Structure formats: C-alpha cells, structure tokens
Structure 1
Amino acid sequence: MYTYISKNNDPMYNLALEEYFVTDRKFAKENILFIFQNDNSIIVGRNQNVASEVNLEIANKDFVKIVRRNTGGGTVFHDLGNVNFSIIYPDHNNTAVSMFKNSLQPVIETLNKLGAPAEIRGKNDIVLNGKKISGNAMWKSGNRFLQHGTLLFNSNLDKIQKYLTGSKDKIKTKSVSSVKSNVTNINNEVSEKIDIENFKFKLLDQYLTKQEIKTIILDNQDQLNVEQIVKNKYSQNSWNLNKNSDFEFKFREYLENKGMVEIFLNINSNIITECKIYGDFLGFSGTKQLEEKMIGINFEHDELLTCLKKADIKGIFGPSFEPEDLLKILLN
C-alpha cells in the first residue's frame, strides 16, 4: 500500500489530489491511503443542491470555501479539528461496495487503541457513545474505487449548525432536533485527548501491521497535473455550485435509511424535456446517466418504470434502492 499525508489545507487542492490518485494511470495498480485536512470549508456531496444544504449568505460573508466532491452523501463542514482519510484501490470485479465496512476496520482499530470505543453504524457512519463522529462515501472511476470519510476530533460544531441548513424533511423523519445534535467530537467522549497528528501516524502503523507501506513522492509533473484539475474543476462555480435552469416540477422525499431524493423536471406535452436529480444518497456512479435517459420519455407509469429498470439504480443511488422507490417519488 502507498500512503500520502497532505500538508496543504486547501480543499480544492486536496480534492483534486484525491481525484488524481484515483484517475491517473500512474497509480492505476496501487492501493493508496491518503490523509488530509481542509480548513474552513464546506464540502458538498456530488448529487446535492447547494442552495438547499448551505446558508450561502452567511458562508460567503465568513469567506468559507464551498467545494463539491466526487462522492455522494451529505454536506459537511471541515476545519483543522477534522481529519479526512481516503482509501483508494483497484476494483476490477465490482466487489468494493460489499467490502465497504471491512475497509474501515483499520480506522476503527486505531481509534479503539487510542481509547475511543468507536464502531460502525448504519450504512456509512462511525459512532462513538451513540453519536456520529464520521461519515463515509464512495466513488468509482473506471476500475478504481474511492472510499473516504471524515473524523471529528476538535471541530467547531457550532459552525456545522451555522452554515449547514440540512433537510427539514430528513430532520422531521429522524426526529433530530438540529443538524448539530447528532454528532460529537472524539475528544469530547474520551478521558485522554487524542492528538490529530498522533492519530495520523498511528493509522499508518495500523496498516503497516497488515501490509508493507510506501510513501508517495509527488514530482513536478504530478503537481502541475493536480493544479490543472483545480483550475478546470474544483475552482469553478459550474462544478461547485452546479446552477441549473428553473424547473416547473419538483419531487422530493426522504426514504428512511436510504437518503433524501429530489427529482426536478420540466415537462412539455407530457414529454420530459429536462431532468436534474439531487440528494444525499450513497451511490458511486453519479446521476448524469439517469438524467439523460429520462429526457424524451412520456411522464407515465410504464415508460418511467421501464426507464428506471434500464438504469443502474443501485450504482446511482446505493445498494438498498430499487426502481420502484424512484417511481413512487415521481408518481406520489
């Protein structure tokens, strides 16, 4: 396994470097553990509607960077009290999703050894004393699979509530009083505080007990390639804010233990002419494929169901989703 600990706290740079590790042929055969921290930033899930998730006025006033990532899931706030880990590896046989929880075991074991009795809960969370300390998500590009997550050590939880609006439907369904109430910092829950830098190296040691590790050294060409990704993608409002045309029809529902789904459509003479899908669901392939398939079909039961059944619903939305879930949202 190869490892890299970023010394850069810019979210645009770190997300570009993460993408580079996934997509560049130089690393195509390698397993990589990438550890990084982002300062004063909001990281938006690939399929989310920024305007619905972020208090843009306050975030912009406070000079918070807003950056969209490649993976699904929800919007999160990052500061230097938060550490991020990315696990990247080849997935030629499409087995990575089934290995999702197993891949988190070194993280769990490291926390346990440092005195934090963390455990995996639900489809993508790590919890400590029943409260969330980490969310995880995934993305696949070609035969390369990315699984990454956050860990809250000393993060400013007040800013989570300040900047992230969350989904009222989701909060109501889950009986959560606020975005903040369901999360905690690791160092609020342990008797001996854990130093973030110490955790980083203990995590490397945990992997070292299982396999040989080598450190990635980025050359000048690597740096230029990453900077180009920042310039062309992560610094662009067209990617980060993803503004779209106005939609006449908006369908929205939170599916328990699956996620929030929003489907925006324009329809002319019962034919779908535009489609955009948002949500915090945890599929790894993105929504573009389905959005394009929806355009040009009749907005009626049989054609919608046929279209949905031809799409990779589990890849787009997550392994627990079925075509009928989306049909119900559209026809409810």
Structure 2
Amino acid sequence: MILSFRYPLIQFIRKYSSVKNEAIHRIIYSSSTNIWFNLATEEWLSNTIKPNEHILFLWQNDKCVIIGRNQNPWKECFLERMENDGVLLARRRSGGGAVYQDLGNTCFTFLVSQAHHQLDKNLNSKILLDALHSSFNIKGHIHGRNDLVYGPDNRKFSGSAYQNTRKFALHHGTLITDVDTNAMKKYLNPNKEKLLSKGVDSVQARVINLCQANPSINHKDLCLAIEKSYRQIYSNNQIPSAEILSKEILNSIPELNTSYKLYSDSQWRFGQTFSFTHEYEKRFPWGTISIGIISERDGLIHTCEIYSDSLYVNMINRLKENLLGQMYTGESIRKACQRTRSQVESEQEKTMIDDIQAWILAQI
C-alpha cells in the first residue's frame, strides 16, 4: 500500500540531512499526471538531493509528447494535431529521442548524489526486470545501450535517458504498459520533406505493450512491484514509507514553482532548438504558393519568403509581414493569418487566407 508521508517533506529532508555517511533511500510518487509538473518535480528533487540520498521517483503522464534536449519539435511532432487534441509538448533536459506518453505508461527516475554514490544503470534495470518477472511473470532483458525488450524478436517496452552533473546522476525512462499505439503514429514523425535541421532524429523501434505479455498489468500494481524490488535490492537500509507529492506542493516550494514555469513556458519548449529551415509548396485553384521559413534557436520566424503567382500581391505581402517575428506554432500562425484576413477586403482574398492557414497548420 502506498502511504502518504506523515509530516511535511521539508521536515523529512532536514531530519536526515545531518546523516553524512549512511545512505538514505527515498521512494516518491507523484499524484499528478501533468508532464510539466512531473518534470519540474524531477528537477527539484535533483537540485535539492542531499549527499547521502538515493531516490526512486515513480510517476505517470497524461497525453503528451516529450522531446530530447536538442531536438526540433517541428521535425519530431505533428504540432497542430497535438494542439487540437490537447496533447502537451514537453522538452526534457536529458538527451534521447521524442516519445509519446499517456496513462498507458509508467515513468521511473533513479536519482543519486554524486558525493557518495555511483549511478548503476544495470542495477536499476535489474530492479525493473525483477519487478516484471516476480509480479507479472514477464521475462525481459537489456538490449543495446538503454532499452529493455521482450521476446525473441526483441520488442522494446522501455527506453531510458541519462543526465550527469557534479551534484547528481539521473537515470529515467518509461515502461510501456498499455499505450495508445495509434496515437504514437498520429503525433510523432511528421513528413520531413524539405525540413532541414541540425537536430537529433528519433529512431523508431518496434514496441510492445506489456499488457500483451500479461493483461493484468497496470500502473498502480507495476509501481508497487518496482517499489518492492527496490526495497529488496537495498534490504540493508531502513527505507521509510513512500512519499506522495501532489500539485498542491507547487505553490509552497518556490524552486519547484520556478521549474514548473520553465517547463510549461513556450520559449523553453519551442525555443531551445537548433536553427532550421522549413520549405513547402502547394497549388490551389487560385494559384501556386511557396513558403520558406527560417527559425533560429528561439523558435521565432526570423526569415519568411512567400512566392506566389496569385494576382493578390498585397495580400501575400501582408501575410509575410504578419508572420515575421512570430513563434512558429499553430496558435501564432493562426493569429497571423487572421490578422491578415482582417486587413484584406475582398471575399476572394479572405478565402485564400483560409486556404493558406489550413495548409500551413497541416505542415507543422
């Protein structure tokens, strides 16, 4: 059973901060399914970890796409589909590829202080594999650098990423229990034609939902199994009852609140990427239009060139002016198009703007 901690988390940290040599193991659950909050919580735990602490953090996210630190969201995702369906975009600090997550995923984080511990990735994987084997009779194994796979054809059910600083080492990833695979196809891997980028591409592997190996598996039971395996591995330590962190804690901890604002901010999610060029062309009944957009690291449209054989030159020029300097997101594109629509007079021009808006949004 997962028990809520009996007294405030800060008091718990202070109580054990005087213990210098003996490792203090903590098991922490998030009651939130918001990806930005959970990433912020993970960062806050990393920044406040004590020299003798070893943390297991278990969490789960509602529909979202998470990209790696150096990835280009326009290259990795169908951003307009995500926006329409309420799928959040998040950027983590660690590397790796883009992943889709929903409530069919279980996320884990192993976090240790660099002062007295070393992050043992193989031991962490053993904890996860032992949990699956002992509680669900699922026999997985390590494959490659950071994947856990199942069956003779090595179908992937878990991927990991790592982060190392002078203060802490972090190993986090996800276990796929019952993810919507159709959603993965819907939101990931856009058409990369004419999209030139220096970012990191995602490598899509064959995946398997763990419920295909055991239909009884679910997030709650899997977390309890991982907790049990973790306690068995570190049986020589007195590990307190699991702590539960809720979103209400956000307002009471300034550092956590600051991290949440960062991860939810569009500048971080869209702007922390490499420069890229997006070029596309389409022929409409009223003419052909070609658009070339260059965006720098801030995710803004720094250069916009529009070529068309349309007779409405002023409309094309106004659209170009309204797009320049805007964030390259569906919301900003829509506003720029609607601003242009309000500036033209003829119904033909308004229809053309509607066509262009729908077309551009489909590209990103």
Please indicate the TM-score interval, normalised by the length of the shorter structure. Answer: 0.5 to 0.7
Tell me if the contact between 1:40 and 1:79 (Cα under 8 Å) persists in the aligned partners.
yes
Deviation at 1:123, TM superposition (A): 0.5
User: Hey, what does 2:145 align to over in structure 1?
Assistant: 123
* Equivalent runs, 1:99-248 vs 2, <5 Å: 99-113=120-134, 114-129=136-151, 130-165=154-189, 182-190=206-214, 192-211=215-234, 212-214=238-240, 215-216=242-243, 223-231=253-261, 233-242=262-271, 246=275
User: Hey, what does 1:48 align to over in structure 2?
Assistant: 71
Letter of the 1:118 counterpart? G
Q: Distance in 1 between matches of 2:103 and 2:243?
A: 23
Q: TM-score, normalised by structure 1?
A: 0.65
SS in 2 for 1:31: strand
Q: Distance in 1 between matches of 2:89 and 2:146?
A: 23
Deviation at 1:181, TM superposition (A): 6.5
Deviation at 1:69, TM superposition (A): 0.8
Deviation at 1:45, TM superposition (A): 0.9
Deviation at 1:71, TM superposition (A): 1.1
User: Hey, what does 2:91 align to over in structure 1?
Assistant: 68
Tell me if the contact between 1:55 and 1:164 (Cα under 8 Å) persists in the aligned partners.
yes
Letter of the 2:124 counterpart? S
Q: Distance in 1 between matches of 2:116 and 2:181?
A: 40
Q: What are the Cα deviations for residues 256-310 of structure 1, in whole angstroms up to 9, with x where unaligned?
A: xxxxxxxxxxxxxxxxxx999xxxxxxxxxxxxxxxxxxxxxxxxxxxxxxxxxx
Letter of the 1:147 counterpart? H
Structure 2 CA distance for partners of 1:166 and 1:84, relative to 1, 3 Å = farther
Q: Distance in 2 between matches of 1:153 and 1:217?
A: 22
SS in 2 for 1:16: helix
Deviation at 1:184, TM superposition (A): 1.1
SS in 2 for 1:39: coil
Tell me if the contact between 2:29 and 2:58 (Cα under 8 Å) persists in the aligned partners.
yes
SS in 2 for 1:136: strand
Deviation at 1:91, TM superposition (A): 2.3
Q: Distance in 2 between matches of 1:139 and 1:70?
A: 8
Tell me if the contact between 1:161 and 1:179 (Cα under 8 Å) persists in the aligned partners.
no
Q: What are the Cα deviations for residues 302-326 of structure 1, in whole angstroms up to 9, with x where unaligned?
A: xxxxxxxxxxxxxxxxxxxxxxxxx
Query: CA RMSD for the aligned pairs?
Result: 3.1
Q: Distance in 2 between matches of 1:213 and 1:167?
A: 49
Letter of the 2:149 counterpart? V
Query: Which runs of 5 or more structure 1 residues have no equivalent in the other structure?
Result: 170-177, 249-273, 277-332
Deviation at 1:161, TM superposition (A): 0.8
Structure 2 CA distance for partners of 1:138 and 1:181, relative to 1, 3 Å = closer
Structure 2 CA distance for partners of 1:117 and 1:168, relative to 1, 3 Å = farther
Tell me if the contact between 2:71 and 2:97 (Cα under 8 Å) persists in the aligned partners.
yes
SS in 1 for 2:108: strand
Structure 2 CA distance for partners of 1:209 and 1:65, relative to 1, 3 Å = same
Query: Which runs of 5 or more structure 2 residues have no equivalent in the other structure?
Result: 1-24, 194-201, 278-295, 299-364
Q: TM-score, normalised by structure 2?
A: 0.60
Tell me if the contact between 1:83 and 1:153 (Cα under 8 Å) persists in the aligned partners.
yes
Letter of the 2:239 counterpart? I
Alignment of 1:77 with 2:107, yes or no, is no
SS in 1 for 2:52: coil
Tell me if the contact between 2:274 and 2:297 (Cα under 8 Å) persists in the aligned partners.
no
Letter of the 2:150 counterpart? L
User: Hey, what does 1:6 align to over in structure 2?
Assistant: 30
Larger radius of gyration: 2
Structure 2 CA distance for partners of 1:239 and 1:203, relative to 1, 3 Å = same
Letter of the 1:234 counterpart? Y
Aligned identity (percent) is 29
Q: Distance in 2 between matches of 1:41 and 1:20?
A: 21
Q: Distance in 2 between matches of 1:41 and 1:236?
A: 15
Q: What are the Cα deviations for residues 208-265 of structure 1, in whole angstroms up to 9, with x where unaligned?
A: 112232234666876443122111x1111111112668568xxxxxxxxxxxxxxxxx
Q: What are the Cα deviations for residues 109-145 of structure 1, in whole angstroms up to 9, with x where unaligned?
A: 1111111111110011011122110110011233201
User: Hey, what does 2:311 align to over in structure 1?
Assistant: none
Tell me if the contact between 2:149 and 2:157 (Cα under 8 Å) persists in the aligned partners.
yes
Q: What are the Cα deviations for residues 147-198 of structure 1, in whole angstroms up to 9, with x where unaligned?
A: 00101111101111110107979xxxxxxxx9876111001123x5213211
